[in-house]
Structure 1
C-alpha cells in the first residue's frame, strides 16, 4: 500500500492547533490531530450543499453567492457547474495556507476552478463579509469547520449562534438561501434557524454517493417575518 506523505502544516486561526496536508498517491487528506476534516475521495455531501442551494435559486438573474470555507473546492466546483455565466461567487477562507494548497499541491483536485472569472477568493472571515452588506446575497453556503459544533476554531461557533444566523439572514436577499453543511444532526441548530425566521429543511446526504457516512445539509429560506432580536456578534 502506498504510504501517506505529509506535505505541509498550518496553524488554525487561533494558533492553538495544527492542520496537516497529506497525500497518498493521487489522494489528499487534511487532518486536525487524529481527525480527518476532508478527503479528496469524499465529495458527495459538499457537492450536495451546492446543488441543493442552486436548485432553490434557479432562474435568478446575476445571482451572488457567498461560500464560507474553501476546503477542497467540491462545493465551489458543484456551484459553478449549476450556475450560469452571469453568476458571481465569493469564497471566504480564513486559513491562507488552504488557499495556497489549492493553488499548489492540490491544483489537480481543484481543476482550475479558482481561475473561473465568476470566482473571487477572499482570505477573510465569512462572518465579517456577511455583516458588511445587507440584502446582498442570493445564497450563503457555510462549510466551516465540522458544522454547528466546530473543532478547528471555536470562534466559528458564533456563525451558528442565533446572533450569527440573524446576521446571515440580514445579508440575504428576500427568499435567499442559507445552506449549512454538518458532519451530523443538531436539533438545537434547527431550532435556532427557525427562531431566526428561516423556513428550514434538513437533508441527510451521503459523504460519497450511496456509500459513506451520512452528513447533514440544512437548507434555510429567508422568510418574511422579522428575525428574533439578538445581540450583535
Structure 2
C-alpha cells in the first residue's frame, strides 16, 4: 500500500511564539507542518546531506571546522554532520521548543531515531533561539556573538519562499551581512532552497561573498533542490 493512500495522524500539535507547529505521521513518514505549510518529512534527506557536505567541501581543508546549522527540522543535517568525524563543534539553532522536544523528550521522542546518536555526540549543542537574532548577536542568553567556519541554513523552503515574514530578513542585505559577520575568514555560507534563485546568487555577491555557486540535488521530476554557496573573504 502506498503511504499517500493513508490518512495523516497528528502526533503532537503546539501553539508556539511563531504560530502552530504540528508533527504528524503519514504512513511510514513523520512530517513537520508550520502554520499549515508543509516544512519537511523523513522521506529522504539527500538535500540536507548535500547541504552539509557541500559546505565542508567548500572549506579550505582546515582541521575540525565549526558548524552552525540553522533549523533542526527532522534532524537529517545534524545527523549527517555528527556522523562525519572531520567536523569540530556543531551548534544547531532551533526556535521551536516543540521540535527540540520531538527529538529529545525521552525514549519516546518521535524523531529521536534520526538524531539520538547526534544529540549524544559531545560536539553537538542545541541552541533554543531565533536564528536571525543569533546571527545579529541580539540573543544575549547565549553569550557573546560566536563565529563559525560554516553556516548551513535550512529554515525555509528557500530564499524565495519563507515560512514566516521574519525569515525574509535573513536573505536581505542586512541578513547576509550578519551571516558574513558570524563566519571566520574563508568560512562558508550554504543555504538550501527548493528551487534555484539567480536573484539570491546576486544578493550573495552583493553582500561580499566570493566563489558563489549552486549545487543541485537531482530529483525524479520537477525542479531540483539546490544549495547556494558563498565564501567569506579569507
Mark yes or no: TM-score above 0.5. yes
Check if 1:131 corresponds to 2:142. no
Match of 2:193 in 1: 182
CA distance in 1, matches of 2:164, 2:11: 22
The 3 A distance-change label for structure 1 pair 213 and 34 is farther
Aligned-pair CA distance for 1:106: 1.4
What is aligned with 2:93? Answer: 92
Match in the other structure for 2:59: 57
Tell me how large the CA RMSD over aligned residues is. 2.2
Task: Report which stretch shifted further, 1-10 or 87-96.
Answer: 1-10
One of 75, 82, 106 as aligned partner of 2:111? 106
Q: Give the structure-1-normalised TM-score.
A: 0.85
**Following TM superposition, by how much is the alpha carbon of 1:142 offset from its aligned partner in structure 2, in angstroms?**
0.6
What does residue 180 of structure 2 align with? 169
Say yes or no: does 1:217 pair with 2:227: yes
Q: Distance in 1 between matches of 2:224 and 2:74?
A: 19
**Uncovered stretches (5+) of structure 2, i.e. residues with no partner:** 138-143
Distance 1:197 1:83 in 2: 31
**2-structure distance, mates of 1:27, 1:14:** 24
Separation of aligned partners in 2, 1:83 and 1:212: 34
Q: Is the 8 A contact 2:60 2:186 kept in 1?
A: no
CA distance in 2 between counterparts of 1:74 and 1:100 reads: 16
* Corresponding residue SS for 1:82: coil
Correspondence for 1:201: 213
Aligned pair in 2 of structure 1 residues 83, 198: CA closer, same or farther (>3 Å)? farther
Partner SS for 1:223: coil
Give 5+ residue unaligned stretches, structure 1.
225-233
Give the whole-Å Cα distance in 1 for the aligned partners of 2:103 and 2:222.
Answer: 24
Of 22, 41, 44, which aligns to 2:43?
41
Deviation at 1:213, TM superposition (A): 5.5
Instruction: Tell me the CA shift for residue 29 of structure 1.
Output: 1.0
SS, match of residue 112 in structure 1? helix
Q: Write out aligned runs for 1:136-147 (5 A).
A: 136-147=147-158
Please state if 1:118 is matched with 2:123. yes
Contact kept, 8 Å, 1:205 with 1:215, in 2: the verdict is yes
> Could you say if the C-alpha distance between residues 81 and 56 of structure 1 is closer, same or farther in structure 2, counting changes exceeding 3 Å?
farther
How far is the alpha carbon of 1:89 from its aligned partner? 0.7
Query: How far apart in 2 are the matches of 1:111 and 1:128?
Result: 27
Please report how far the alpha carbon of residue 134 of structure 1 lies from its aligned counterpart in structure 2 after TM superposition: 6.4
